[in-house]
Structure 1
C-alpha cells in the first residue's frame, strides 16, 4: 500500500504531541508529586500512603481500560467509527483534567476519582489513535511513522511542561495556589493542539449495518470472543503481547514514579527537577526517532530487544544513584551529589523510553490484520493497561514494605521477562499471518 500523505501522518502524530501534556504534567512531573506530598502529605510516614493511593488510583483507571478497550475496538472496526470514539475520549480527558484544579490538600478521594476518570480517558485514547497506524503506510514504513509520533510527542511534552514549570513554579504547599492550575493548563494544551488530528486524519473502512435486534455491545463481545479463538494463528502477536505486558509494567512504574523518586529518594532541588525534565524529553525524542530509523533497517524485533537491554542498565543506575554518588565522591575527592548522577541516569532512561513503546506499537501494526486493526490494538492496549495494574500495584505495595529505592528493582525483573518473551517471535511469519484472510465474525 501507499504511504499516507505527509499532512495526514502529521495530523496523526499531533495527537501524540497533544496528549503528552497529560502524561507529563499530570502523571509524571507535577500532579503525581503534588498528590503524594501535598494532597495526601504523609511526610512523617515517608509518603508511603500517598504513593500507595496514587498507585491504586492509576491501577483502577487502567482496569477500566482493560475491560472496555477490546470491546470498543471491535465496535469501531465494525462501524468505522474510530474518529468518533477518539473524539469522545479526547473530550472526556480535557474536562476531567481541568477539574483537577478543585483538588485541594486533604481532598484525597476527589483527587483519586478525577485521576481515575481522566487517566481512563487518556489511556483508552492511546489505543484508539494507535489503531490508525496500519492505515498510514506499508509495514516497512511503520517503524519510522510510529517513531515520528513518539518523537513529536516528546516535543509536545517539552513545550507544555516547560511553560507549566515556568509559570506554575515548584510543587509545595506554599505554592499550591499557583501549582493547582496544572490541571486546567494541561487540559487547554490538549484541547487546542489535538485539533489537527481531527481535521486531517481520515476514517478508513466500511461501515456495516447492525442486524435487527442486535446491539453494538453484544456485537463487540462476540467479535472479541471470535478474535480470541483465532489467537493461535497469530502466535507472534501473542508472544509480543506477553512481552509488552512485562515491558509496559516496568515503563508505567518509571513514568509514574520517576519524579516522585527524585523528590523522595534522590532529594533533588527545583533546578535539578527542571533540568531532568528537559534531559529526559530531549533524549526520549532522539531515542524514538533514532530507534524508529534503526527499526526500519535492522527489524523491529532486534530494535525492541536492544531497547529492553538498555532498560536493564537504566534500572540498575536508578537504584544505585546514591551509592554511585558516594563512590564518585570517594574516588574524585570532590563532592558529587546524587541529583547530579541522576541527571546522567535520566539520559539513559530517556533514550529507551520512547523506543520500547514505539517499536512495540509498530510491531503490533505489522502483525494486526487490517480489517481488525482497532480490535487488535484494543488487545495491545489491554496488555499494556493490565501491565500497568500489576506494575503499579506491585510497586505501591512493595514500596510500603521495603521503601521506594529497593522497590524500584521490580522493574529489573519486568524488563528481563519482556526480553525473554520476544525470543520466539518471527517477524516474517507474523506479517504473513496478518495478511491471511480472516475468518468472518
Structure 2
C-alpha cells in the first residue's frame, strides 16, 4: 500500500496514510488562511495602519516636497513615543515576540489532544473574527487596529502550527515534497482569487465609498473568506490518537510539562535543531519581504494602491506555478538543493529592491514576478524537509518552534527594519539589511547533512535530497 493509499472511513487512519478527501481538506486550510496573508498583510494592513498613525499625529505634509515628513511625526503608544512610520512594524514585532512565547505551547498541546481539528477551528475563527473586525478600525483609532493585528497574527500562526502538524500524518516521507508544494500552491491560488475580487471592488467602488472604506471592507472580506473555507478542513480532516498519549487532567498544564520534556529531548536531535536554526534565519528574510513590501512600495517608492494590488496578484498567481515547479524540480535534484537555489535568487531580489526607482511601476511589478517564482516553493520545500526531521508523535511541538519564523511571524527582520528606519528615516537601508538573513541562512543550510539528520530522527530519507 502506498503512502497516499485510500484508507477506510471506519476508525482513525494509519500514520502516514490518508484519503484524497482528507488531503483536499488539508489543502483547503491553506486556501482559507492565505486570504489573511495576501489581502491583509501583503496589501492593505501596513499602508492603512501607517496612514491612521500619521493622521493621529496631527501632521500635515508640505505638498511642495516629495518627502513625507509625517512618517517621522511622533505618536504616543502606551506612554512611548514612536514615529508614525514605524507603528506598523512595531506592532508586527510585538505580535511575533508573543508568538515566540506561545507557539511551542500550542504545538505541545496539539500533540496531546485527540481533538486536533477542534483546536484548528478555535484558532482559525479567533483569527478570522479579529480580521473581520478590521472593518471597524476608523476615525483615528489606530490602537484598535494594532490590537486586532496582534490577535489575528497570533491566532493565524497558532492555527498554522496545528495545520502543519497534520502533514507527517497524511503521507510518507517520499511524498511530502509533492503534498506540501501542492498545499502551498493551493493557498496562493485562493489568496490570489480573493485579491482579484478586492481589486475589482476597489476599482469600481473607490470613487463612491472612498479608499479608507474599501481598505476596511477588503480586510474584513479576508476574515469572512478565512472563516467560510475553514469549514472544509474541519469537515474532512480526521483526528488520530496522539502517539504520545492523551493529556491527563488539564491539557494546558500538560502541554507545558510536555514542552519541557521536548526542549530537553531536542538535544538528542542536534541536526534537526541546526536545520531549524538555518530556516529561522533565511525565512526571517522571506517574511520581512512579505510584511514590509507594501509599506516600502507606498512610502518609499510612491506606488499607488492599484499598482500594489496588481503586483501582489502577480506574485500570488506566479507563486502557484512556482510552488508546483519547484516541487517538480525537487523531485529531480532534491529539496535541499532546490531551496539553496531559491536563496541565491532571493539575494538577487534584495539587490534589485534596493535599487528600484521612485514612481516607476513596471520595475516594481517585474520584481514582484521574480518573487512569485521562488516564494511558494522555497517555503513549501522547507516545510517538507523539516517534517522529515521530526520524531513521530511530536509534530505539533516541533512545528510550534518552526512556525516561530513562518508566514507573517518573523521578528528579527521587522525589528531590524524598524531600528534602521528609526535611526536613518530611510526605508531603502532597511531593505538592504534583509540581505544578511538570506546570505547567513544559505550558509547554514548548506552545512546541514540532511540524509543523516532524517535517519537520526527515526525516519526514512527519500531517494533525492
Q: Which moved more, 1:308-317 or 1:33-42?
A: 33-42
Task: Confirm or deny: 8 A CA contact 2:180 2:381 kept in the other structure.
Answer: yes
Q: Cα distance, 1:184 vs. partner? A: 2.1
Task: Confirm or deny: 8 A CA contact 1:101 1:181 kept in the other structure.
Answer: yes
Equivalent residue, structure 2, for 1:82: 116
Equivalent residue, structure 2, for 1:187: 223
Equivalent residue, structure 2, for 1:28: 42
Q: In structure 2, what is the Cα distance between the partners aligned to 1:14 and 1:209?
A: 27
Q: In structure 2, what is the Cα distance between the partners aligned to 1:347 and 1:397?
A: 29
Q: Cα distance, 1:5 vs. partner? A: 2.3
Task: Confirm or deny: 8 A CA contact 1:245 1:386 kept in the other structure.
Answer: no
Q: In structure 2, what is the Cα distance between the partners aligned to 1:383 and 1:276?
A: 24
Q: Gapped runs of 5+ residues in structure 1?
A: 326-336, 437-441
For the structure 1 residues 360 and 165, does the alpha-carbon distance in structure 2 shift closer, same or farther, using more than 3 Å as the test? same
Q: Gapped runs of 5+ residues in structure 2?
A: 5-17, 62-67, 73-82, 460-465
Q: In structure 1, what is the Cα distance between the partners aligned to 2:201 and 2:405?
A: 37
Aligned length: 422
Task: Confirm or deny: 8 A CA contact 2:350 2:435 kept in the other structure.
Answer: yes
Task: Confirm or deny: 8 A CA contact 1:242 1:383 kept in the other structure.
Answer: no
Equivalent residue, structure 2, for 1:333: none
Task: Confirm or deny: 8 A CA contact 2:287 2:408 kept in the other structure.
Answer: no
Equivalent residue, structure 1, for 2:351: 316
Q: Does 1:289 align with 2:324?
A: yes
Equivalent residue, structure 2, for 1:330: none
Q: Does 1:342 align with 2:378?
A: no
Match runs of 1:92-107 below 5 Å: 92-107=126-141
Q: Which moved more, 1:13-22 or 1:76-85?
A: 76-85
Q: Does 1:47 align with 2:48?
A: no
Equivalent residue, structure 1, for 2:294: 259
For the structure 1 residues 139 and 46, does the alpha-carbon distance in structure 2 shift closer, same or farther, using more than 3 Å as the test? farther
Q: In structure 2, what is the Cα distance between the partners aligned to 1:57 and 1:434?
A: 37
Equivalent residue, structure 1, for 2:395: 373
Q: Cα distance, 1:114 vs. partner? A: 0.7
For the structure 1 residues 155 and 229, does the alpha-carbon distance in structure 2 shift closer, same or farther, using more than 3 Å as the test? same
Q: Cα distance, 1:133 vs. partner? A: 0.5
Q: In structure 2, what is the Cα distance between the partners aligned to 1:187 and 1:387?
A: 18
Task: Confirm or deny: 8 A CA contact 1:147 1:292 kept in the other structure.
Answer: yes
Q: Does 1:119 align with 2:149?
A: no
Q: Does 1:15 align with 2:29?
A: yes
For the structure 1 residues 292 and 50, does the alpha-carbon distance in structure 2 shift closer, same or farther, using more than 3 Å as the test? farther
Q: Which moved more, 1:42-51 or 1:231-240?
A: 42-51
Q: In structure 2, what is the Cα distance between the partners aligned to 1:174 and 1:297?
A: 50
The correspondence for 1:110, drawn from 139, 144, 158, is 144
**Structure 1: which 4+ aligned runs deviate by more than 6 Å?**
170-173
Equivalent residue, structure 2, for 1:202: 238
More helix by share: 1
Q: In structure 1, what is the Cα distance between the partners aligned to 2:336 and 2:309?
A: 34
Q: Cα distance, 1:367 vs. partner? A: 0.8
Q: Which moved more, 1:269-278 or 1:68-77?
A: 269-278
The correspondence for 2:434, drawn from 408, 411, 414, is 411
Equivalent residue, structure 2, for 1:219: 254
Match runs of 1:126-205 below 5 Å: 126-169=160-203, 174-205=210-241
For the structure 1 residues 356 and 37, does the alpha-carbon distance in structure 2 shift closer, same or farther, using more than 3 Å as the test? same
